[in-house]
């Protein structure tokens, strides 16, 4: 079970945007954490804006990644207006859960992200914010 969960988390981390598209950003954006003093297990929220024109196949998305001792223990990709849960995953548990919680250093990045099927694979970072989650 533990291997399956770790493999699922690692797989999720691989599909999350990590590379910068060669395309020039057609818009600008900003992101800010609006949840005060986040901790493991909390729901957190962000305020974000995207200004400018961009192709219709791109949509704003936020990726939250949390690390303990430099190891990725949690990752979540969703729409900017979504609640981001600092524990587990919608379809299972994260390494953070397996570690018993504890503090983590996190980064939230606002992207323009290609959605749907097709030839587009653009992932364009617009802004990011770092925060600490207490255990």
Task: Give the C-alpha separation, 86 to 84, whole Å.
Answer: 6
Say yes or no to pLDDT of 23 above 70: no
pTM: 0.79
Band of residue 8 on the pLDDT scale cut at 50, 70, 90: very low
Say yes or no to pLDDT of 82 above 80: yes
Summarize the confidence of residues 58-80 as an average pLDDT: 95
């Amino acid at each position: 079970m533990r291997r399956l969960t770790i493999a699922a988390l690692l797989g999720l981390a691989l599909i999350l945007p990590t590379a910068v598209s060669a395309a020039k950003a057609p818009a600008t954006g900003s992101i800010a954490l609006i949840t005060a003093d986040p901790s493991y297990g909390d729901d957190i929220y962000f305020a974000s804006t995207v200004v400018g024109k961009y192709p219709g196949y791109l949509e704003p998305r936020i990726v939250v990644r949390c690390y303990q001792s430099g190891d990725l223990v949690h990752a979540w990709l969703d729409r900017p207006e979504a609640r981001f849960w600092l524990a587990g995953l919608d379809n299972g548990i994260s390494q953070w859960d397996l570690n018993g919680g504890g503090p983590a250093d996190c980064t939230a990045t606002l992207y323009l992200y290609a959605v749907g099927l097709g030839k587009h694979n653009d992932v364009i970072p617009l802004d990011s914010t770092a925060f600490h989650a207490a255990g």
